[in-house]
Amino acid sequence: MLQSLDMSAPSTSWQAQPVTHLPLCPVLMHQNKFCGLPLHAAPTFDPIPVCLMHSLDPAKDDAQFQQEINSIVKNAASGGVADFTRFVFPTAQYMVRTFPPMCIFNNAVFSQEANFYSAVFEHGATFESAHFKDEASFTRAQFGAKANFHSAVFEGETHFSTDFAHDVSFVMARFLKEAGFNNSSFAGEAIFSSVKFEGDAVFARAVFHNEADFGNADFFQRAFFAYATFEQDADFFWTRFTLNVDFDHTTFLKKANFGEAVFHAGVEFRETKFRQDGGQLPGPIFSVTQFMLPEAAVFYRNHLGQALFYNCDVSRLTFSSVHWSARSNGKGRLFEESVDLEAAPDLAPAEDEPNERDYSLIAETYQQLKKNYDDRKDYWTAGDFHYGEMEMKRLHSPRKNRAVRWLHRNLGLVAWYRYASEYGESYVRPLLALVVVLAVFTLLFPLPGLVVSKPDTQGNAPPLLSPLSYGDFSDYIHAYNGPRIAAALAFFGHSLMTALSVAGFQKELIYQPAYPWGRSLALLELLLTSTLITFFLRALRRQFRR
């Protein structure tokens, strides 16, 4: 068996049939069929004789070459296959040309500029492992079926401002210089997985009507997706961006997966539109995404209500004028709390975990966002994420018993902290609670009774008088020198003053709660009011600090 020839590029390797002296070309074509064309004498460039179409001879007759191309296209007609496998094109000027059959350019070599401007491939074309050594242009080309550029190599600048009416694949392709897909339209699936963009990648104003796959791609230079539109899922999973990336005014109507992607330089999502349909499916996913220069990662005027950031360090990213989803009380919240767990399996609890989802993992993201906004002196937004962090602490419980978990979530200390002050974020709530506590103890103190202690003119303490209690209420009203309403107000006024004095840590009380139950109530009031005052002062400081 003859071995593959070195055609000066890996994409031109071929196999020959096991005959020593063969009058016809031995190169294997599509479906392992031999070429069979007459040999071209160029021993200097072709160690094993091949035909004109496969010869590396730079001086071969281009007119004869193009005549053979025309003959192949004509013989294939519209229902056949035009097989150009491993052809070495001296020139390729096919502007505004129509190719009726399915065209196969697998492993073909284009030595000079390949110009397919406005060319029409009625039954599609495949350029798998083709090698474009100079500039390649497919601007306004039309593909009547799938276009396949799997493992193709583009050494010069490439222009694909094209409307792809069907699927297109560039899997494992290499673009050594600028790859221009600006203003392109992709009606079918656009697959760019494992592509290496060694020059600038330009997808500005491109429209992806179907799924777009850039997974595991490498962008070694700048990447431009400004004003592009992704109408279906966009996959950038495990993609690496070496230099700056521009997603300004880009539209992602469905999922945009940046999971495990790496941004080595800056990335801008300025006025980028992410999914906003109010459902439980995610829009942008930044799970395990690495921002190597976090301060250069900018989110500006975005809706992040359906974004996922778990397992991603967001403590130093720039969030400016972005909108998060909101709770019923108006506080911002992360989508991790409500996302469908089938779309975010990492948030699902372990098998032996009794909680509905991994609340501790969500709490980590809340902590980082709180730090982010605190460092930027945006304490109001930071307060929203502090609230979310505490909510995760309240919801998380290692107890497997449902009743115990319910008690922890609704009657635990964290729960009461929420009821009293919204985790220290509301100064109105503890103030209202303080008023309620004072009113309650004003009504409670007469139950055990209030003992009146009033110094005489010499400063000596008088003997204890009878307790002022509900049992003595009628006598007090009759003995009072004034209207009955005034008497009732005076009765409860004494109790209110006692409650205020206890709350104010006053030691010399004119009206003291009777021992022992009255004193017990006073201690309980002191504990509650001091706690509420602390909550009030902390919330006030947090809301108005600078």
d(CA 163, CA 158): 15
At 269, the amino acid letter reads F
d(CA 341, CA 334): 14
Specify whether the CB–CB gap between 306 and 281 falls below 8 A: yes
- What are the start-end ranges of the H helices in 95-197? none
Say if strands 511-513 and 450-452 run parallel, antiparallel, or are unpaired: antiparallel
Tell me whether the omega of the peptide bond preceding residue 294 falls within 30 degrees of 0, making it cis.
Answer: no
The owner of tokens 């021992």 is 515
HSE-up of 230 (CA within 13 Å, CB side)?
A: 30
Domain spans, the chain? 344-425, 428-544
Cα(376)–Cα(294) distance, integer angstroms: 14
* Cα angle 298, 424, 522; round to 5: 175
Tell me if residue 318 falls in helix, strand or coil: strand
Longest dimension (CA), the chain: 138
CA-nearest of 195, 121, 194, 124 to 158 is 195
HSE toward the beta carbon, residue 1, CA cutoff 13 A: 5
pTM: 0.84
The two structure tokens encoding residue 191:
């697959």
Per-residue pLDDT in tens (0 to 9) along the chain, 546 residues:
333 334 344 444 444 444 445 589 999 999 999 999 999 999 999 999 999 999 999 999 999 999 999 999 999 976 789 999 999 999 999 999 999 999 999 999 999 999 999 999 999 999 999 999 999 999 999 999 999 999 999 999 999 999 999 999 999 999 999 999 999 999 999 999 999 999 999 999 999 999 999 999 999 999 999 999 999 999 999 999 999 999 999 999 999 999 999 999 999 999 999 999 999 999 999 999 999 999 999 999 999 999 999 999 999 999 999 999 999 989 999 999 999 999 999 999 988 889 999 999 999 999 999 999 999 999 889 999 999 999 999 999 888 888 999 999 999 999 999 999 889 888 898 999 999 999 998 888 888 878 776 655 555 544 444 467 777 777 777 777 778 788 788 778 878 888 888 887 776 667 778 778 888 988 998 898 888 888 888 888 877 765
DSSP for 291-348 reads: ESSGGGEEEES-B-TT-B-TTS--SS-EEES-B-EE-TTS-EE-GGGTS-TTT-GGGS
Q: Based on C-alpha coordinates, what's the Rg of the chain?
A: 39
